[in-house]
């Protein structure tokens, strides 16, 4: 449908873009369908021709965020196992720090519960898949200890997810040393925290 005095012509995409800008700048709570329609020179119910409700619009924005994150993670160099693991972690945390409001929308949990928007769930899984593949590759190369893959992926994801949220919420200090912190944190996971070498009896799979 072409542009007219009556028909906007390109709502949906323009609404998506404008809403994405608002979320990136002011967070998802700043999204108001009425205000959004006002900015686009259109009546509020017009948006309902393109989005089922406010939450569905937010889900679309989160999908964009996950696809964006996935591209960032895909562009990490995968030649060396250790550098790939640390690089993925750094890229993940960097994305969250550069797009804190978008990241919070993607992983808010409360505003966008899982199992409601299937395409959103899929987009999230696709992004996570990159991290999972990197870990699986490092495991197959023998770089990692023998352990269930799910344990390592859960640990790595928890670490970068937690670090991302704590830093963007201001619970961890030092904005300038953030990347150093992220590198130290991921390295610490790989090397272990305890002083005694893990040779004696802390492998629970081979007692």
Distance, CA of 203 to CA of 207 (rounded, Å): 7
What is the C-alpha to C-alpha distance for residues 159 and 143, in angstroms, rounded to an integer?
19
Site stretch for DNA (CB under 7 A), options 41-49, 127-135, 177-185, 195-203:
41-49
Provide the minimum distance between the beta carbon of 172 and DNA in the complex, in angstroms, as a whole number. Answer: 29
If one asks whether residue 25 binds DNA (CB under 7 A), the answer comes out as no
| Residue of the chain from 24, 39, 55, 107 that contacts DNA (CB under 7 A) | 55
Cβ density class 195-206: b for 16+ within 10 Å, e for less: eeeeeeeeeeee
Q: Which is nearer to a second copy, 64 or 153 (CB)?
A: 153
Characterize 165-175 residue by residue with b for buried, 16 or more Cβ atoms within 10 angstroms of its Cβ, and e for exposed: bebbeeebeee
Nearer to a second copy, 118 or 197 (CB): 197
Q: Judged by CB, which is closer to DNA: 52, or 166? A: 52
Q: Whose Cβ is closer to a second copy: residue 43's or residue 179's? A: 179
42 makes contact with DNA (CB under 7 A): yes
Residue 50 interacting partner from a second copy, DNA, none (CB closer than 5 to 8 Å by kind): DNA
Cα 104 → chain centroid: 8
Q: What are phi and psi of 108, to 5 degrees?
A: -60, -45
Q: Which residues, at least 6 apart from 69, have a Cβ–Cβ distance to it below 8 Å?
A: 92, 95, 106, 127
144: left (phi over 0), alpha (psi -120 to 50) or beta: beta
Q: Which of 16, 24, 54, 161 binds DNA (CB under 7 A)?
A: 54
Q: Which residue number, 68 or 143, has a Cβ lying nearer to a second copy?
A: 143
Give the CA diameter of the chain: 77
Of these partners, DNA, a second copy, none, which one is at the site of residue 35 (CB under 5 to 8 Å by kind)? DNA
Question: Is residue 1 at the binding interface for DNA, with CB under 7 A as the rule?
Answer: yes
Residue 186 burial class via C-beta count within 10 angstroms: exposed 0-12, middle 13-18, buried 19 and up: buried
Shortest distance, position 64 Cβ to DNA, whole Å: 19
Which residues make up the interface to a second copy (CB under 8 A)?
Answer: 27-29, 82, 101, 104, 107-111, 113-115, 124, 128, 142-148, 150-152, 154-155, 157-166, 168-173, 181, 184-185, 187-195, 197-199, 202, 204
């Amino acid at each position: 449908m072409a542009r007219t005095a009556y028909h906007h012509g390109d709502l949906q995409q323009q609404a998506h873009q404008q809403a994405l800008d608002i979320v990136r700048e002011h967070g998802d709570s700043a999204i108001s369908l009425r205000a959004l329609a006002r900015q686009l020179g259109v009546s509020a119910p017009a948006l309902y021709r393109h989005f089922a409700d406010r939450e569905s619009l937010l889900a679309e924005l989160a999908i964009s965020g996950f696809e964006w994150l996935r591209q960032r993670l895909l562009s990490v160099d995968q030649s060396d196992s250790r550098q790939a693991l640390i690089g993925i972690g750094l890229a993940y945390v960097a994305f969250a720090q550069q797009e804190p409001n978008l990241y919070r929308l993607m992983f808010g949990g409360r505003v966008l519960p899982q199992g409601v928007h299937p395409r959103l769930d899929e987009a999230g899984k696709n992004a996570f898949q990159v991290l999972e593949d990197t870990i699986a590759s490092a495991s197959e190369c023998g770089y990692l200890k023998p352990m269930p893959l799910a344990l390592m992926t859960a640990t790595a994801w928890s670490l970068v997810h937690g670090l991302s949220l704590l830093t963007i919420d201001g619970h961890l200090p030092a904005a300038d040393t953030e990347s150093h912190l992220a590198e130290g944190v991921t390295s610490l996971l790989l090397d272990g925290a305890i002083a005694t070498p893990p040779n004696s009896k802390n492998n629970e799979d081979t007692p």
